[in-house]
Amino acid sequence: MSAQKKTHFGYQEVTWDQKQDKVNAVFDSVANHYDIMNDLMSFGLHRLWKKFTLDISHVRKGQCVLDLAGGSGDLTQRLAEKTGQEGLVVLADINASMLKRGRERLLNRGYLQPVQYAQVNAECLPFEANTFDCITMGFGLRNVRDKEAALRSMFQVTKPGGRIMILEFSKPRAILDPLFQTYLFSVLPFLGKVIAKDADSYRYLAESIRVHPDAETLKQMIEKTGFRDCHYHRLSGGIVALHIAFKY
């Protein structure tokens, strides 16, 4: 019997099946505290990063948008306001707990149509080819088991002329890196322990940030799948990067 393919779960080396189970366990654990922890962890900056993404998305009324790894639905809500009743936004996540939280949040705020919900694996998206004008993915790619497969799947379901927008943690400027690392491995698990009663999950999230490809490496990965004109914006000193690429 051949050895199972290995990947990373934070700093651990695990099998592909183990990675998916472990990531699901993390988000099952943090789902109920996800929004407040996002505010605390980023000092509210995640709202500005997402606003910047939305401001330059060029999403307009009548378009079809996929919010992949959409979690609790904060990007989905703003995208639905842009597409209007004539369009469609699909909130998609692999984790049932996160998807449930996002659906409840949006329904409570009165977002019925044009929002739909789908529990999907980013590596094999179950949508027809050339469906979406725009795909957003906020802080989800680093948790995907096979990033290249996910990018290929996104390419398949993006319309010609459409774009992907991947917002993700990255490698900050050298002068900021020691401080950022201290924050990740000291402050973040502490907040997880106090607020979410789960230091281990937030320690994993810190490790997942450190092992995620830097902005230039991710740019090359995106272009390798067929997307063109890939460029990125470094935000907050490079702590976060927004990658934008197009399908022609």
- Is residue 218 pLDDT above 70, yes or no? yes
Does residue 1 fall inside a structural domain? no
Q: Is the pLDDT assigned to residue 20 strictly greater than 90?
A: no
- What is the DSSP code string of 177-214? HHHHHHIIIIIHHHHHHHHSS-HHHHHHHHHHHHHSPP
User: Measured in whole angstroms, how far is the alpha carbon of residue 26 from the centre of its chain?
Assistant: 15
Of the chain, the end-to-end C-alpha distance in Å amounts to 42
How many structural domains is the chain composed of?
Answer: 1
Residue appearing with tokens 């290995």: 6
Q: Write the pLDDT tens digit of every residue in 113-164.
A: 789 999 999 999 999 999 999 999 999 999 998 999 999 999 999 999 999 9
For residue 17, give the CATH number of its domain. Answer: 3.40.50.150
Pairing of strands 240-246, 158-169: antiparallel
Q: What share of the chain is helix, strand, coil (3-state, %, to 5)?
A: 50, 25, 25
pLDDT tens-place string over residues 89-116: 999 999 999 999 999 989 988 877 789 9
Does residue 248 carry a pLDDT above 50? yes
Other beta carbons less than 10 A from residue 107's beta carbon = 13
Residue type, 86: E
In this structure, is residue 154 part of a structural domain? yes
Q: Is residue 176 included in any domain, yes or no?
A: yes
Residue-range definition of the domain harbouring residue 68:
6-246
176 burial type by CB count under 10 A (0-12 exposed, 13-18 middle, 19+ buried): middle
Asked if residue 117 belongs to a domain, the reply is yes
pLDDT of residue 71: 87
- Does an H or E element contain 7, and which? strand 6-9
